[in-house]
Amino acid sequence: MSLPQIAPGLALLERPLIDVRAPVEFAQGALPGAVNLPLMDDDERQAVGIRYKEAGQAAAIELGTQLVDGALKRRRVAAWQAFAERHPQALIYCFRGGLRSQIAQQWLQEAGITLPRIQGGWKAMRQCLSAEITSAATRPTLVVAGLTGSAKTELIQRLDTGVDLEGHARHKGSAFGRHPLQGPSQIDFEHSLGVALSRMPLGCVVEDESRMIGRLDIPLSFWRTMEAAPRIRVEMPLDWRLEQIRKDYIETLWQTYRGHYGEWLGWALMRKQLSSALKRVRKRLGSARFQRLQRLQALAFREHQRGNTQAHEAWLAPLMLEYYDPMYRYQLEQSPHEALHVGDWESCLAFARDWSASLAR
């Protein structure tokens, strides 16, 4: 019986996926939603790779069948079988849709289950996702700008055409923006972004970002489109922005840390993140200002433990007024862009909705 293949395409991402590559490959970047059930672990893959270089494919296959045999082979087949029984529409893939996915298919077929493999494997699917980003770079894009704390991300999330770049990167973009949980790899970020952009065939709205979000790069073609795109600018008073910053960077951060790490460790990790973030901008703040903000931050942590999260505004306000706001205004002065609309948060949301609706006209 032949082993079925299926042509690559984004529609396949709606189906359950079995990635039979080694864990180290999976960690570097997988297809969205895929489950890693490897044919070989990292050490086995390395040994087979060395044999391939030294003695060719036949010798590598022979070593692989020796390494993955007996009880070990039965365990791996059983894992694929259990997944396939729960997800009859599942697909198998390896790096190029070649030998490893064929072997997995063959062993599964011998166990009485037939699953297709993706033709061209991970590499072909990655090309599809990268092509989506390149295509999106040719479509209309609107950029939402504004001072720190202007709730630009929330505005993006309210739009059917909004693409939350920071959400895909799991990072808020600034020195204080690291997420408590590990972010995606560069490849996983690009794949996630490709899927999101594929759902915006007419155009999208994104937040004003630098090329890097944390340690991740926005793909160059799309970044160039963002650079040239028209903008709107949210303008809100300091007290409103402070409340947003406190909610996002203090209260939500604390809830996430506490939920994942518990009361004691979560508190210690949150304090470490915020104090480390302040240290990262020390040179730009200058020694005297940094020391003042560090003292205010320490006092705020003390008050926070007593239930007063508003105390953080004592260091957040000068950080915004003396560091982030001047930096943004300087960038604004250097920008060649004239904003299509400048106004409060609600008016910018309304403008972005009207702009999005115009795409379909």
Average pLDDT over residues 315-324: 91
Residues 150 and 85 in one domain: no
Q: Is residue 60 part of a domain?
A: yes
Write out pLDDT tens, residues 6-54: 999 999 999 999 999 999 999 999 999 999 999 999 998 898 888 888 8
CA atoms within 13 A of residue 99's CA, in its CB half-sphere: 12
- pTM for this predicted structure: 0.91
Say what percent of the chain tops pLDDT 70: 99
Last residue of a domain, one of 72, 97, 129: 129
Write out pLDDT tens, residues 163-192: 999 999 988 767 677 777 788 999 999 999
User: How far, in Å, CA of 339 to CA of 227, rounded?
Assistant: 13
Q: Is residue 115 part of a domain?
A: yes
Average pLDDT, rounded, for the chain: 92
Q: Could you tell me if 339 and 265 are in contact, meaning their C-beta atoms sit under 8 angstroms apart? A: no
Residues 61 and 153 in one domain: no
For residue 91, list its beta bridge partners: 17
Number of domains in the chain: 2
| Beta strand 216-217 pairing with 212-213 | antiparallel
Q: What's the confidence (pLDDT) of residue 356?
A: 96
Catalytic residue among 94, 128, 204, 348: 94
Write out pLDDT tens, residues 133-163: 999 999 999 999 999 999 999 999 999 999 9
Whether residue 1 has pLDDT greater than 70: no
Q: Is residue 215 part of a domain?
A: yes
Residues 329 and 206 in one domain: yes
Residues 163 and 243 in one domain: yes
Residues 101 and 157 in one domain: no
Residues 144 and 245 in one domain: yes
CATH of the domain at 19: 3.40.250.10
Last residue of a domain, one of 88, 105, 129: 129
Residues 120 and 166 in one domain: no
Residues 124 and 156 in one domain: no
Residues 161 and 263 in one domain: yes
Whether residue 284 has pLDDT greater than 60: yes
Whether residue 257 has pLDDT greater than 80: yes
The conformational region for residue 323 under phi > 0 = left, psi -120 to 50 = alpha, else beta, is alpha
Q: Is residue 135 part of a domain?
A: no
Write out pLDDT tens, residues 214-238: 889 999 999 999 999 999 999 999 9
Q: Helix, strand, or coil here: 188? A: helix
Q: Is residue 134 part of a domain?
A: no
Residues 176 and 106 in one domain: no
For residue 341, list its beta bridge partners: 232
User: How far, in Å, CA of 32 to CA of 30, rounded?
Assistant: 6
Residue 94 is among the residues annotated as catalytic for this protein: yes
Q: What's the confidence (pLDDT) of residue 183?
A: 84
Average pLDDT over residues 256-283: 92
Residues 76 and 157 in one domain: no
Q: Is residue 179 part of a domain?
A: yes
Q: Which domain holds residue 37?
A: 5-129
Residues 180 and 328 in one domain: yes
Q: Could you tell me if 37 and 79 are in contact, meaning their C-beta atoms sit under 8 angstroms apart? A: yes
What does the block give as tokens for 130? 């990268």
